[in-house]
Structure formats: structure tokens, C-alpha cells
Structure 1
Amino acid sequence: MIRNPAQFQALLAEVRQFVRGKCLPIEEQVDREDLIPEAVVQRMRELGLFGHSIPAEYGGAGLTTEELALVNIEVSQVATTFRARFGGNTGIASESLVVDGLPAQKENYLPRLASGAVTGCFALTEPEAGSDATAQKTTAVRDGAAYVLNGKKCFITNAPIADLFTVFARTDPQAKGGSGITAFLVERGAPGLSTSAPYRKMGQAGSPVGEVILENVRVPASAIVGGVEGQGFRTAMKTLNKQRINLAALCVGPAVRLVEEMVKHARNRKQFGQPIGDFQLVQQLIAESNTEVHAARALVLETARKRDDGIDVTMEASMCKLFASEMCGRVADRAVQVFGGSGYLAGNVAERFYRDVRLFRLYEGTSQIHLVNIAKRTMAGGVER
């Protein structure tokens, strides 16, 4: 659903100019220094990138699912760390509030998330609760008009720099599965809340990821997202359903860029007295990659349009995330092959993207988890005719 094509094309052009003009030239610097310059982050704020999917009444752009997918394809054509800096605010870190937050909670937090004044994070994963997200060990015990939170979260994007944490904790220890899990809004500075130093990672340098430690953190009952106990896991699943489409779009962008880089290299690199792009086996690597890019983009945009039409796309969102992330990994591998020995050296665009995109097949549901989800829904009659 593109609401105003002319206005949206102007927004896309502005985003393209920013990522290609300001982000692309410093990709290697950010990878080396593990830090995005503050001036670039400030420009993200000025462009409204932190609030693209937050409703307009709270200071965001209120983009539709299709519009957001197209923006994500654009912004991810440079190092994925740049989108990660603002992506939490306009995605996973704000969506819980958008879908289930109380009016007062939305009014308090969404404008600040949309402006980038506050950085949010989504604290769901734990050491023993990854693919099995219902196995939450973090507890929230009622104490009068407050709750006391204890536990540890891991692999949390932006945790080391976050100001607002959406923390999922078990409020009913007797409940099974997703029942009894509640989502809480916790601000940095709350006594007992701390975060680890950023992890050293394989890729996506410049995107800080770490742990959230909760030691007798006391929060008021008004911190419960939606104000109702036991709805947290349902909120998380609503959030992830949309974010899986977003992530699939974020897998398409790097593949687009890598096809461009493969073509450029194949035209310029010569062997046996001619450009390597003249050799059919090199052409095969490029052709297969470009075909898969087009297939993934078509699937993502079709699913986004269905969601905008109010159709349940739970299975299709899993398909998007599975296919696009695996596709991106294959394209990155082919890019290294086209670049040859230079593609294995630090500082090469193929080497850097190869490391960065490997994460896509892990977070917001591993490929194996999505295969299980798709199989279950297909066996239950989820075949489109």
C-alpha cells in the first residue's frame, strides 16, 4: 500500500542520498572502529529515520508495511549496522507499544522513540530462552503496587546504549508456555538494571549488542505494556510477525548491493586477457544471484501488501524471513567467489558483507524454527491455491 506515490518516492530519494552519500563512504571506518560517528546518527534523527513505522500522531511517519519494506531494502544497501542504529526504534523496540501499549504509555514513549531522543531495545532472549522464547527464567514478583524483576537477557541489540528496555518476565511461575509472561517498560537508571559491555562479534561492527542484567529492579504496575499481566508473549509474537517482514526486506538490500559489486568487479578484473565477466561460470554466479534477489523482493512485497490489506500473514512472514535470509547468505558466498582471493581479505566489500549478513539466518527466528512454523501451518491447510 503506497498511499502517496510522489511523496513516497521523494522520501525514498532522500533516504538513498543519505545512505549512499554519508554511510557508504565510511563503511570500512565503522567496521574498523566499531562505532558510527555521532554526526551520522544525528543526521538519522533529522531525517526521521527513527520513527518511520511509528504512527504519525506520535511523531513518526506511519509508513505502511509495503512502504517500510521498500525503505528497508534501500537502507540496507549499505553496511547493515547503520540501519541497526535506528531500526530498533522504528521496529522491534517500539512495535510492542504500537500494538498493545496504553494511551498514556504511547504518549510518553513513542514521540521520544520517533525522534531518536531515546534509544529502545527489545529484551526477550535469555541464555536458555532463544528459539524457545517461552522458557523465560526472568521473574517479576508482585510486591504491593510494584513488581520486582530478576534475571538476565542476552544478545540484545542496542542494550549497551539503550534508554528504554521492553523486558519480558514471568509473572506466573505456575503457567506453562507463553502464558504468564508479561512485558514491562523499564528505563535506564532504574536501580538494579545494568548492561554489559558490547560483545565482540563476527560482523555488524558499530551495532552494539549485549546483556541486560536485572537485580531486584522495582517497577510500578503502570510499567506493564497494555496494563494486563500475562499478555507479554502474545505482544512479542505480534511484534515479531511484522518485524520478520522488515527483516526479510533488510536481507534483500545487501544482496542488491552485492550483485552491483560483483558486476563491477567482473567488468574490471581481467584474467587470460579478458574481463572475468566474459566467462560463463562467473556469469552464472551473477545471474543466479540477481534472480534470487528478484524472487525475494517479490515475495516480501506481496506479503507486505497482504498485511496492509488486513490478511493474516503469519506463515508468509516466516516464508519471507526464511527465504530472504538464506538467499542473502548464498549471494554473499557467491560474491566472495567472484572476488576470489581478494574477497577473503579484510577491507573487501564482499568479505565485510559476508560476515554481516550471516546473522540474518539466526535472529528473529532461526531458519530451522521458521521451517517448523511453515510446516505446521502448511499441514494445517496453509496451501494457497
Structure 2
Amino acid sequence: MSYEMDELLDLVFEEDASDLHIQVGRPPTLRLHGEMVSVDGPDLTPSDTERLMQSITPESYIQSLKMEGSADFGFAFRDKSRFRVSVLKAKGSYGLVLRQIPNDFFALDQIGIPDKIRDLLYRPRGLVLVTGPTGSGKSTTLASMINYINERRSGHIITIEDPIEYYHDHKKCIVTQREVGVDVTTFSEAIRRALRQDPDVILVGEMRDLETIEAAISAAETGHLVFGTLHTNSAAKTIDRIVDAFPANMKEMIRTQLASSVVGVISQVLCKKIGGGRVAGLEIMVTTTSISALIRDNKTYRINSDIQTGAALGMITMDTHLLSLYNRGLITARECFEKSQEPEDMRKRLIDLGAELEDS
């Protein structure tokens, strides 16, 4: 039998898989609720993966693939779903990883974003950061926030992505979506250009280098609401990561800028849900006068205690949120323990609740 890409993508859509992996030496494999599940059938050969790659990869990206060994792009599968595709070469053969991007946006309460955080989406200026490891749902959270603004505020939203994932229609806002490598050369260049394009909201898909971070902070300071992502797992580490990107002689200035520009940080992990599916574990920080002072004075290690006492403002620590997911019967004690930021403290809290932590 030979595998056809349309049939595989139909299967991804029907099973609600998050990813499809196509690699030589194994049948096509879906990531279902975090687990890898192979399709029934023969292992893929080098000619199979090359044929499947060519069936969806635009010619311009095939050239990039041959020269650089990898290429990333997005494409729509009929009217069912969009996919973010990473094509790569491994041991001289082609492989693909396709991430499914649903057409529908989640409501913020479906993701678990508290009402208080929605206030941030009406701010005229500031930096909102959504952080977490790869595959933790950052893009979904950001897309849902942008859609929330698009449905309720009047203005101009500019998104800068690599590649574009969720497509946004013009609703109450005009939405301009720019793809790095297609519409503009770099993230930092796109942000600088955006400032001349009368934006109210700017989404920066990835703050991956010093120039992009600097441009995003500058945009937030000059009267724009800027959303960005980083691969960090807490608010304190997010601030530290940004500051560490700058040379020593600039760190104090950047701390001062962050103290006044960061309005909130949402850190998230995806947990396996009991009975199937995934649920997000969240840490939420809303910048207060106290937290601004901690950032400015290089005392980020104390941010967590401010989050713990900030429940009235919608703040919550990751471990408190994970424990609430466990108490509500949504995740296992093991999952709660493995995803926690302070495992030894979490172990004690779970044991006090009578939880069984086998093999831990």
C-alpha cells in the first residue's frame, strides 16, 4: 500500500491529533493526547517520504530545503484545518512534522484565562508575554486573545509570524498578518516597519534575538499593546531571560524599561487530561507597583511570592493551578507532580491529600 497525504491529513483531523510525523523506517505517526500512535501499515521508505513531502511543499521551499536542510511553512487543508509544516532532511532522507492548527478559536474561559486578565486586553500600551515549552499551546492562547480583541475593540492589529498559523478575518479591527521570510525579512525589521503602519496591537510570534526583544519593548513603551512569546516556564525566568539577552552595560536600562512596559506574563504547560485530551496548567502574573519594583531592583526571585498573594488580581502560581486541576479530577497526581515547578513541595502537598505517587 502507498500512503496519500490527503488521507493522512483527514485522519489527523478526524482523530483530533495535534501532530503528524512522517519519518523513514516507521509508519506515519500521530501525536494523540500527547502519546505517539502509528498508523496501521508498512514502514515509510525514502521514496515514500519524498513523494509525500513534494505533494504539499511549495517549490520555493523545496529550493530552501535542498540548500539549508529544512524549511517551515503553513498551509490550509481544504476548509477543515491549517497545518504548520516543518520539512527536514535526516540521514539523507526527507521527513516532515505537521502541527494541526484548528480553524476555530477558543474562548478565553475555555483555555482557563480568568476574567481579570481580560482587562489587560483593553490596555492601550504594554507588553503581554505568553511563555512555555514548545507544544504548550502558546500559539492557541495568543490567537484566542487576538480574536477576543478583534471582536470587541476597534483598531489595527499587526501579527508577525514564522509561519502564519491562525488566520484572522477583519472583524471590529483591521488585521494585517505578515510572514517572516515571505512578506518581511526579520521579526525586528517587521516591528520597526509596523510602527509606521498605525498599529494598536502588535503580535510578535517569537522573541528569539536581542534585536527583536529590543524592538518589541520599544513598541510597548511608545503606546502599543504588544504580545510576544518566549520558551521560559515562569514569570521570573521570563524577565531574567530577557535581561540576560542584553550586554552587561545595558541590563540596568532594560530592567527599568521592563518594569514599566511588562503588564502581564502567562506561563503554561499542557497536561494529559484524565479520560483523554489536554488541559493547560497556567501561571499568571499581572504587574503591580510591587512587581515593577522587583523587576527594576533585580529581585525577580521574589516575584513568585507576589503572585501567591495576588489572587484578587487574577494571579496564580503554576503549582497552585496544577493542584486545583488535580483536586477537580482533571489530571492525575503523577501528572501534577511531573509538571510542577517545585516538585519536592508538590510531592508533600499531594501526599497530604492522600495521593498515590507511584515510582516517584
Scaled by the length of structure 2, the TM-score of the pair is 0.26
Q: In proportion to residue count, which structure has more helix? A: 1
Query: Which structure's relative contact order is higher, taking Cα pairs within 8 Å and 6+ residues apart?
Result: 1
Q: In proportion to residue count, which structure has more strand? A: 2
